[in-house]
Homo-oligomer: A and B are copies of this chain.
Amino acid sequence: MKLYINKASPFARKARILAREAGIADRIEEIDTVVSPVTMNETLARENPLIKIPALVTDSGETFYDSPVICEYLDTLHQKAKFFPEPGPRRFAALRWQALTDGMMDAAVLSRYEMAVRPEALRWKDWIEGQKRKVFGGLHVLESEVGSWGDEFGIAQIGTACALGYLDFRFADWGWRSGHPKLTGWFERVSRRQSVAATLPPQA
């Protein structure tokens, strides 16, 4: 299989962590890809018209995106404990955490585009503040819920690790740890996992 990634992408990192946790990373060729919301990437566009990463091309030539679909697909390819719970209350709790942390990453990536890609004269402070509000709203919810996770490391926890890792990588000045001691402790513990350590963003 081929997985289009970028080492800075928190969404690609979800798939990269899951593949390592599941023991199937050796079946996946990671293809480092540069994407930008304002320039074309013909190679990637042929696989994913949304021109986003991650995109997974299976051995039979099918292409899957976005990260929740890729992760759920990869979860069918191994025999360890599943990262997506079976249908039922635990599944919907996990999917909601995944959506929460995906949404936090979306908001953080949009802030990043605003601050680093958009021409300086066209940047809008209210936009960044609105996106930052979503990130901190999510942190507040995670702080109150992380205590229920114990040692579990499924799709909810993978998403959370990627969201927090992205904040460290791009928004260290936002100081997400302040006011979130439980989440800080949890992140410190999971950061020791080999799958998490091996997929750190390049300059974190």
Q: Name A residues whose Cβ lies closer than 8 Å to a Cβ of B.
A: 36-40, 45, 49-52, 62-66, 68-69, 72-73, 76, 87, 92-93, 95-96, 98-100, 102-104, 107, 118-119, 122-124, 126-127, 129-131, 133-134, 137-138, 140-141
Do A104 and B50 touch (CB < 8 A)? yes
* Interchain CB contact (< 8 A) of A122 among B96, B104, B122: B122
Q: Could you say which residues of chain B place their CB within 8 Å of the CB of A45?
A: 137
Given A38-B130, A122-B123, A126-B38: A99 and B65 within 8 A (CB)? yes
Given A37-B130, A38-B129, A96-B69: A51 and B122 within 8 A (CB)? no
Give min CB distance, A99 to chain B, whole Å.
Answer: 5
Q: Could you say which residues of chain B place their CB within 8 Å of the CB of A118?
A: 124, 127
CA distance A66 to B100 in the complex (A): 8
Do B52 and A69 touch (CB < 8 A)? no
Give min CB distance, A156 to chain B, whole Å.
Answer: 12
Give this chain's copy count.
Answer: 2
Taking chain A's interface residues, is the majority helix, strand, or loop, or is none over half, making it mixed? helix
Do B138 and A49 touch (CB < 8 A)? yes
* Interchain CB contact (< 8 A) of A50 among B98, B122, B127, B137: B137
Best-buried of A72, A118, A133, A141 by chain B (most CB within 10 Å): A133
